[in-house]
Amino acid sequence: MPMLTTIIALLASAVGAFGLAPPPAGAAAAVVVKGEPESAPYDIVIYGGTSAGVAAGVQARRMGKTVVVIEPSPHLGGLSSSGLGWTDSGNKAVIGGISREFYQRIKRHYDDPASWRFDTPDTYRFYRAGDDAMWTFEPHVAERTFREMCREAGVEVVYGERLDRTPVADGPRVRGVEMRDGAMTRIVMESGNAFAARVFIDATYEGDLMAGAGVRYAVGREPNTAYGEAINGVQRALNTKSHRFMVDVDPYIAPGDPESGLLHGIDPGPYPADGQGDHRVQAYCYRMCLSKDPDNRVPFPKPASYDESLYELLFRNFEAGDLRLPLKMDMMPNGKTDTNNQGAVSTDYIGQNYAYPDASYAERERIEEQHRTYQMGLMWTLQTHARVPAEIRDRMAEWGLPKNEFEGTGHWPHQIYVREARRMIGAYVMTEHDCRRTRVTPASVGMGSYNMDSHNCMRWVTDDGTVQNEGDVQLSPGGPYMISYLSLVPKREEASNLLVPVCVSSSHAAYGSIRMEPVFMILGQSAATAASIAIDRGLGVQDVDYAELRARLLGDGQVLEATPDGGPSSRPGLDPGTVPGVVIDDDNAELIGDWVTSTSVGGYVARGYRHDDGTRGAKRAIYRATLAEAGAYHVRVSYAPHPNRGSNVPITITSEGRVLLETRIDQRQTPPIDGVWLPIAQLELPAGPVSVTISNAGTDGYVIADAVQFERAVEEPRR
């Protein structure tokens, strides 16, 4: 229990540091003003029917509380039901509680043969009959699942109601948030309908309720100096290769002529130095669901306001020799995709969303329409425009929008992907140090483990006069990390009965990892648990006893800390010094082509592994050893298994130019030896040089290059 004692002590210290005192008696009681539109008071009001809002509502009902979820749109589930079917989850072993329950329900849906109309479970590689959960799904299946969860738990859901965000004259609050003695009392919608409660939860992607209550927040990127971080602020040097220009592209309307002006989407500057903070927000897009089944496909429409000039950078990038397909299409069941940004010019509308977090509803709708028009036009362009290479047009010709998805919005996702908007500045700010576990995170209420992932924030002109993207950062935290309860609550003087499980108190760098849908559900459940305890004990949310909160969360299946058996990513990489024989790690291999370093999935040697980023091309990892003596050797390779890996990865073993063995391995299967090593062969090898080559030639998924082992085979004694 030493860790728990430390956490409780840190929690008490942090609460005391803010000078927090219990709220006045009755300050958080439900209030309904007579003579105005009203509803019956609730224990908990949740604003935002995102995945976090659903999880919070279900948990509140399971704890016996009256609750309503208010969703401004006609849809439930946020991005999980609006095209984001590819679950960026990191280590799935630390996804517990209602979050895991959602993915288990998804699995049960696809266990039914009737669910496969345009596909079969045998041909869909991410369906495994023996798994307890499934992490990829169709949008309508997600929304149906969220609605079923709310219905079964008895959660009241109100659709089509937006918070009245009219500013008030005497401070940062809005007219739709009413407060008394530092506590929220009720919220009022644009319609005039009001919802009173004892505790409120802001589960929106934008943080509208939090901001409307006058809680402090950040938008954009902090400088690295703000929290002693390394990957916050402007990041030109750190920018990944996957989503940047890999060829020289002229940025000017008239090539070579700065006086002609910059092409659309290029920031004119001035550009801050690396590590400095700015107002720029990582790019948004729509997570398109596509289909190439002729019976379930609608052609991409050409937008009425199509503007060819929006795609000049795309054309020039192709013409300069970058022939990558500018889309990442991950397959969902029934022949559909979750389509995301990929490459230098893609679905992310870089630089066009800076105003969105604080914008009015009308301004947000204008920004959303601009993104929709750009992205629809991009798809039409990729299929039809003469300046798009024929091989790209041919690949895109078979795709369209699915007939049986998003039927009310022209088969287009009903919600834009708000990757990041406002971030609360609360009682505790999660930073890169929490993600990397270089400081003790107090009062864990859930875990994250995905990469610290920011999409590009800006296009700029380099010193050599070419265009480049900036802001794309993808760094692994190295395993699961704890998320503090204090990052879900504002400072008491701002609001004593508000919890914020989506726009959590976090730096830009840390939010890039936290902002995953499974984590939002985890935090939504934890927020509702804390809200229920606060109501039962008559406390402000800042005063909830962590020991009681922790016990209830663990009892409800939440995972709060990594343990040795908490999943492979909770363990450090295998020390090659403890492995018998000759071991060559990827750090010592000859790498041909662009390989990406990662630690996102466990079961690797040393500090991590390399992957080919799912891109084709001649990529090879050559492991060279010099054997001291000839004899029989076990040859083994290690890799981090995952369903998105290649099932046919080529392995070639050679000695002095002579091929000794050619085979293929399935990197989707867990290696049988300690979950790390896969035996390739037992071979008679000569003394001297020998090599093992891993390549991605003709593979059907991500290729992993980690380590190779040569161990002398010992003959079993006769009995």
Domains and CATH numbers, the chain: 2-106+138-220+420-555 (3.50.50.60), 572-712 (2.60.120.260)
Q: Cβ(63)–Cβ(529) under 8 Å?
A: yes
Q: Cβ(486)–Cβ(505) under 8 Å?
A: yes
Strand order in the sheet with 707-712: 582-585, 707-712, 631-638, 677-685
Question: Rounded to whole angstroms, how far apart are CA atoms 229 and 333?
Answer: 40
pLDDT digits (tens, 9 = 90+) for 596-653: 877 767 778 987 889 987 776 689 999 999 998 999 999 999 998 888 899 999 999 9
Find the helix or strand (DSSP H, E) in which 583 lies.
Answer: strand 582-585
Predicted confidence band of residue 26 (pLDDT cuts 50, 70, 90):
very low
Q: Closest by alpha carbon to 252, among 265, 235, 239, 236?
A: 265
Question: Rounded to whole angstroms, how far apart are CA atoms 485 and 221?
Answer: 23
Token pair recorded at residue 250: 């002229």
Parallel, antiparallel, or unpaired for β 67-71 and 42-47? parallel
Eight-class DSSP state of 327? -
Highest mean pLDDT among 347-361, 575-589, 643-657 belongs to 347-361
pLDDT digits (tens, 9 = 90+) for 334-343: 999 999 999 9
pLDDT above 80 (res 24): no
The dihedral over CA atoms of 670, 675, 680, 686, expressed in degrees to the nearest 10, equals 160
On average, the pLDDT of the chain sits at: 90
pLDDT of amino acid 600: 67
Predicted confidence band of residue 4 (pLDDT cuts 50, 70, 90):
very low
Residue with token string 């629809």: 376
pLDDT digits (tens, 9 = 90+) for 83-138: 999 998 788 889 999 999 999 999 999 999 999 999 999 999 899 999 999 999 99
pLDDT of amino acid 656: 87
pLDDT digits (tens, 9 = 90+) for 402-425: 999 999 999 999 999 999 999 999
pLDDT of amino acid 170: 76
Tell me the backbone φ, ψ of residue 541, rounded to 5 degrees. -65, -25
pLDDT above 60 (res 356): yes
pLDDT above 60 (res 504): yes
pLDDT of amino acid 572: 53
- Residues 329-351, mean pLDDT to the nearest whole number: 97
pLDDT of amino acid 19: 29
pLDDT of amino acid 715: 52
Predicted confidence band of residue 350 (pLDDT cuts 50, 70, 90):
very high
pLDDT above 90 (res 573): no
pLDDT of amino acid 588: 87
pLDDT of amino acid 511: 98
| 3-state per-residue secondary structure call for 7-62 | HHHHHHHHHHHCCCCCCCCCCCCCCCCCCCCCCCCEEEEEECCEHHHHHHHHHHHH
Question: Rounded to whole angstroms, how far apart are CA atoms 5 and 27?
Answer: 31
pLDDT digits (tens, 9 = 90+) for 505-553: 999 999 999 999 999 999 999 999 999 999 999 999 999 999 999 999 9
